[in-house]
Structure 1
Amino acid sequence: MLKRRVVQTRKARGALHARPQGRLSAMEMFLSFFLQRKATTTVILGKNAKTQENKEESRMDSVIVASAFKKNRVYFFTADSQKEGLVDLRDVFNEKPSKEEQEALAPSASSAIAPSLRSGRTATIFTTMGDIFIRLFPQECPKTVENFCTHARNGYYDQCIFHRVIKGFMIQTGDPNGDGTGGESIWGGDFEDEFHRALKHDRPFTVSMANAGPNTNGSQFFITTVPCSWLDNKHTVFGRVVQGMDVVTKIENVATNVEDKPKQDVKLLTIKVTS
């Protein structure tokens, strides 16, 4: 037997209850708890108001709202459920949702797509100076490639300029602001680095994420024009140029100002991702 004490909070009175210990005992315990008050009526007498208590007590049914632990469920308990014998019904936690409810709760087509399908293995960067073909590494850095491919498919990179070009180092783009201060990930804000021992800045034409420090990846990326081993474990390598190296070199050699910005805009027109 499971004993418990139910206390009326208004009058500080209590009663000892005993129930068989079982699956629904906790539910019955909640349903047996309700607030009590005496109904009152107000009679207006000139400027004064007189309140009288009815002789007959009425019980005001309380509603207990609870959520299931680590579940997307909300429960509403009332004393009426106990009066009507609903406690003896099958546990609602195991009730199968109706067909209409299942359809309403079904994830959208875009959210149901697995990350691997949202990514790609190759991409073509179309620029005002030519096309650059890159191979991606979704297995080694899945989140970075997913971010890049999703931005590309959504047109986020369209019309971005190469805002930073340093001869003998790299060309950088992917900032909608066009000055190196903007851009965010597809999740909003930044996301973490994904370093892989097989992916290094050990050769030119490496595609890597620009950042402002550890785990601050957004949307900006760069393509190296020389080996840059000092960037290893600081920037996430997620691709290699496999064709169009001459286009990268042409962009690398454009005239720039003191802030390394090309004097004449070189634009990234769009990016096409293929599986």
Structure 2
Amino acid sequence: MLRRTILGMGAAIAAAPAFAQQPALDPENTLILELPAGRVTIQLLPDLAPRHVERVKTLARQGFYDNTPFHRVIDGFMAQGGDPTGTGTGGSRLPDLPAEFSPPSRARFVRGTVGAARTQNPNSANSQFFIMFAPAPSLDGQYTIWGRVVGGMEAVDRIKRGDPARNGVVTNPDRIRSARIAADIR
């Protein structure tokens, strides 16, 4: 009897859809990036990083990210943007943010994770961010995770790569055409 029950359960599992229905995104916590290769939808994660999410929303609403470059892009690792100077040393006029690191049990740096870029000082995040092309467990618990790509990862994959000999610095980089909070799009 036990064998039949297990086999019956296996058939039910096999017939189930591969992915459960994802709940609708909260427009107030959804960032839309328009890139040269298409639209990217990022679910903001205020439960993990409330200050960072609030900063991203503030800067997006100010138009800060519009036309900023992906200045450092490393194939198989990540694409970094959010610096209006394009040098990797710039930020907004707002003060730096304290770290909001999540333990790996809550959030990990996997493909599509969006994190806050910073210097060696953990409390130096400002406006820069990076989107992961692949998992990077070495970043888990070391950088703030504030979002995840839920649509348009193919556009992220098409961001122009940088020179590996120059730590991913990109000559004539792709730029964010616009960054908007979904609740503000009419």
CA distance in 1, matches of 2:115, 2:30: 15
Show structure 1 runs of 5+ residues with no match: 1-118
Which residue of structure 1 aligns with residue 99 of structure 2? 193
* Cα contact 1:159–1:268 (8 A) shared by 2: yes
Is 1:224 the equivalent of 2:132? yes
Which residue of structure 2 aligns with residue 31 of structure 1? none
> Of residues 45, 49, 52 in structure 2, which corresponds to 1:137?
45
Q: Note the 1:38-57 alignment, pairs <5 A.
A: none
* Cα contact 2:48–2:145 (8 A) shared by 1: no
* Cα contact 1:204–1:225 (8 A) shared by 2: yes
**Aligned AA for 1:175?**
D
TM-superposed CA distance for 1:153, in Å, is: 0.6
Question: CA 1:255 to 1:170, structure 2 compared with 1: closer, same or farther past 3 Å?
Answer: closer
Q: Note the 1:100-179 alignment, pairs <5 A.
A: 120-179=28-87
The two structures have a TM-score, normalised by structure 1, of: 0.53
Is 1:233 the equivalent of 2:141? yes
SS of the residue 2:28 aligns to:
coil
* Cα contact 2:74–2:161 (8 A) shared by 1: no
Is 1:208 the equivalent of 2:115? yes
Show structure 2 runs of 5+ residues with no match: 1-26
Q: Deviations over 1:60-104 (max 9, x none)?
A: xxxxxxxxxxxxxxxxxxxxxxxxxxxxxxxxxxxxxxxxxxxxx
TM-superposed CA distance for 1:233, in Å, is: 1.8
The two structures have a TM-score, normalised by structure 2, of: 0.76
TM-superposed CA distance for 1:234, in Å, is: 1.5
Is 1:247 the equivalent of 2:166? no
**Aligned AA for 1:204?**
R
SS of the residue 1:175 aligns to:
coil
Which residue of structure 1 aligns with residue 90 of structure 2? 182
| CA RMSD across the alignment | 1.6
CA distance in 1, matches of 2:82, 2:140: 21
Which structure has the greater CA radius of gyration? Answer: 1
Structure 1 segments of 4+ aligned residues over 4 angstroms from their partners: none
Q: Deviations over 1:28-75 (max 9, x none)?
A: xxxxxxxxxxxxxxxxxxxxxxxxxxxxxxxxxxxxxxxxxxxxxxxx
Q: Deviations over 1:227-259 (max 9, x none)?
A: 1111112110011101111111111xx353342
SS of the residue 1:160 aligns to:
coil
Q: How many residues align?
A: 152
* Cα contact 1:129–1:266 (8 A) shared by 2: no
SS of the residue 1:152 aligns to:
helix
Which residue of structure 2 aligns with residue 40 of structure 1? none
CA distance in 2, matches of 1:159, 1:241: 20
